């Protein structure tokens, strides 16, 4: 803890004796105060360099012990003052940023939702980053503003001014990143619309693609350099603003050192990269203009209204940060600084940018839904060119092509049966067996029509085949058997008497009128038993 200046030190007032002093009608042991090196200062504090306590009513301690302990003490690092103008305005800004946070989350839910399959070239997180950074800006701004309430309420400046300044710089970084992501994603959205009709319109290895690959890396390089220039430092000298000389010696040089100046200019480079990214997207995805003046006119013509508003605002934000890096009296790091400059240049641009983003987030449609609409428009145009006319929506309902959501599984299976048979609806007076759907449900297949189990009508192979083709002869035999009733097919497959021998067939011969006559004659004749055995002459006799 830094000491107050010696020029503001006061002598202890006299008391009842040489070892007594009266401060605000309270008797304290002067010997104990001198032993522990306590000094009374003109601002009403009593300090020994390590401890500081308030020595005015109603915070005056009531007694001091010989070991230097005070009773009913109030330390100097206590918010004892009422809320000042800076604290009151900070409360209002904190409420506005809280509302903006809710709107940002609603917009994130709207634009971050997917309605199309994810494409490798366009990841969903790319469209969500601007809303992530918007949430970051609102959260850091609220922390900075809430801690700003105690900046002027503390008797001696301490931790609140450090927290307020720390999160203020984080809010500035988030705002610049928010605008960058909005501009970058707009270029990505333009590219997606450009290649959706023809994916091979743009090359993947040209100058355009390389610039779009390296620009984000370059932007975040300078943004993180700004972070490392500002955040990782010793913030304790910022709170050394307990009297004017200490402010000039410690706080002002720290708030305007070379690192703060370098960080401000790095933020300006990030702004220039954002503007170049916007110009790059307009050049490749919007109609081209010839000539310098036409290009300038086209740049402002094709820039979306949202960017016409937020890019100048972020430029004002960067300008203010450069200003406070050189002029400490306008900085939010100064206790009791110029409130109008702090809120107008430090918080208002970020607040307006977040609200503009939220308003356009509610106006603009989801990108997947918009892409689906563009595809429908293109398909309708192609159908008109080809002369394709689609039937109205009521046509399917009239013709029974719309499924009833309350229909049972049996009704759906019967509808499938009718479609297989070529009938979308049953003929008047036709009854469908009740067990047809049950059997189909058992095997999870369409039930077999009764017409398929009846005898088949004569086909092209119904008559006996007289040709030489074995395949056709086999098919004709199969067709004849398939066309027979089930009882006849079973009778054909039954085992019957053996065929007659070769000698009996040669001796008697079959009767052409009566089938099986040779078998009956050979059974009644005794010639086969009286004659000598047949001599086998060749393999044909076996």
Tens-place pLDDT, residues 255-264: 999 999 999 9
* CA pair distance 309, 154, nearest whole angstrom: 38
Neighbours of 286 (CB within 10 A): 15
Q: How far apart are CA 453 and CA 485, in angstroms?
A: 10
| Tens digits of residue pLDDT in 320-345 | 999 999 999 999 999 888 889 999 99
Tell me the three state secondary structure of residue 84: coil
What is the rounded CA–CA span in Å between residue 175 and residue 239? 26
Torsional class of 49: left (φ above 0), alpha (ψ -120 to 50), beta (otherwise)? left
As a whole number of angstroms, the distance between CA 267 and CA 231 comes to: 14
* Contact indicator for 332, 164 with CB cutoff of 8 Å: yes
Strand 9-10 relative to strand 26-29, pairing: unpaired
Q: Helix (H, G, I), strand (E, B), or coil: what is residue 452?
A: helix
Least confident of 239-253, 286-300, 414-428: 414-428
CATH topology of domain 85-377: Rhopdopsin 7-helix transmembrane proteins (1.20.1070)
The mean-pLDDT minimum among 19-28, 246-255, 273-282, 492-501 falls in 492-501
Q: 468-500, pLDDT tens digit by residue? A: 666 677 677 666 656 655 555 555 555 455 555
Give residue 368's pLDDT: 92
Q: Where are the domains of the chain?
A: 6-71, 85-377
Query: Which among 420, 414, 419 is positioned nearest to 433, based on CA atoms?
Result: 414
Distance CA 216, CA 233 (A): 27
CA distance 203 to 121: 13
- Least confident segment among 129-143, 190-204, 433-447: 433-447
58 upstream amide cis, omega within 30 of 0 = yes
274 neighbors 179 (Cβ within 8 angstroms): yes
By CB atoms closer than 10 A (0-12, 13-18, 19+), residue 327 is middle
Q: Is the pTM of this model over 0.75?
A: no
Question: Tell me, what DSSP letter sits at residue 17?
Answer: S
Cβ neighbours, 10 Å, residue 223: 19
Q: What does the DSSP 8-state code read for residue 7? A: G
At 424, phi and psi to the nearest 5? -80, -25
Q: What is the pLDDT of residue 462?
A: 47
User: Is the pLDDT at 357 greater than 80, yes or no?
Assistant: yes
pLDDT in tens, 223-247: 999 999 999 999 999 988 888 888 8
Rounded distance, CA 532 to CA 530, Å? 7
pLDDT value of position 534: 57
Query: Which of the two residues, 352 and 453, has the higher pLDDT score?
Result: 352
Q: What is the pLDDT of residue 67?
A: 83
Q: Which residue has the higher pLDDT, 535 or 296?
A: 296
Is the pLDDT reported for residue 203 higher than 90?
no
Percent of the chain with pLDDT over 90: 38
Per the prediction, the chain carries an average pLDDT of 79
């Amino acid at each position: 803890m830094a000491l107050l200046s010696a020029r503001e030190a006061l002598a202890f007032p006299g008391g009842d004796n040489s070892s007594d002093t009266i401060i605000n009608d309270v008797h304290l042991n002067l010997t104990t105060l001198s032993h522990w090196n306590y000094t009374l200062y003109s601002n009403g504090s009593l300090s020994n360099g390590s401890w500081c306590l308030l020595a005015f009513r109603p915070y005056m301690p009531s007694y001091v012990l010989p070991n230097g302990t005070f009773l009913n003490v109030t330390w100097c690092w206590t918010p004892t003052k009422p809320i000042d103008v800076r604290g009151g305005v900070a409360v209002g800004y904190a409420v506005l940023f809280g509302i903006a946070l809710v709107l940002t989350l609603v917009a994130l839910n709207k634009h971050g939702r997917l309605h199309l399959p994810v494409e490798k070239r366009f990841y969903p997180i790319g469209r969500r980053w601007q809303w992530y950074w918007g949430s970051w800006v609102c959260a850091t701004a609220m922390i900075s503003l809430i801690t700003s309430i105690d900046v002027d309420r503390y008797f001696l400046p301490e931790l609140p001014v450090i927290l307020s300044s720390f999160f203020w710089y984080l809010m500035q970084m988030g705002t610049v990143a928010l605008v960058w992501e909005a501009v970058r994603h707009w270029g990505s959205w333009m590219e997606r619309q450009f290649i959706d009709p023809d994916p091979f319109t743009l090359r993947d290895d040209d100058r355009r693609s390389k610039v779009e690959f390296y620009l984000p890396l370059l932007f975040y390089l300078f943004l993180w350099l700004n972070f490392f220039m500002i955040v990782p430092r010793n913030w304790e000298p910022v709170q050394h603003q307990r009297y004017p000389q200490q402010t000039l010696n410690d706080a002002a040089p720290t708030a305007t050192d070379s690192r703060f100046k370098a960080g401000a200019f790095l933020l300006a480079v990030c702004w220039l990269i954002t503007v170049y990214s916007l110009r790059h997207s307009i050049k490749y995805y919007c109609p081209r203009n010839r000539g310098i003046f036409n290009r300038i006119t086209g740049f402002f013509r094709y820039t979306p209204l949202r960017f016409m508003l937020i890019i100048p605002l972020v430029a004002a934000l960067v300008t203010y940060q450069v200003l406070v890096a050189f002029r400490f009296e306008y900085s939010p790091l100064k206790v009791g600084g110029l409130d109008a400059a702090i809120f107008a240049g430090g918080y208002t641009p970020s607040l307006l940018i977040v609200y503009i983003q939220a308003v356009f987030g509610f106006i603009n449609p989801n990108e997947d839904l918009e892409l689906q609409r563009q595809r429908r428009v293109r398909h309708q145009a192609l159908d008109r060119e080809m002369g394709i006319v689609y039937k109205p929506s009521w046509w399917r309902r009239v013709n029974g092509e719309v499924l009833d959501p309350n229909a049972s599984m049996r009704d759906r299976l019967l509808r499938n049966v009718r479609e297989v048979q070529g009938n979308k609806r049953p003929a008047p007076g036709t009854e469908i067996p009740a067990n047809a759907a049950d059997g189909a449900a058992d095997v999870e297949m369409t039930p077999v029509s009764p017409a398929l189990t009846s005898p088949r009508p004569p086909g092209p192979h119904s008559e006996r085949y007289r040709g030489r083709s074995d395949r056709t002869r086999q098919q004709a035999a199969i067709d004849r058997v398939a066309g027979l009733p089930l009882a006849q097919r079973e009778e054909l497959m039954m085992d019957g008497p053996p065929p007659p021998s070769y000698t009996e067939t040669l001796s008697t011969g079959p009767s052409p009128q009566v089938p099986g006559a040779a078998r009956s004659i050979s059974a009644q004749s005794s010639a086969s038993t009286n004659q000598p055995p047949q001599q086998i002459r060749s393999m044909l006799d076996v």
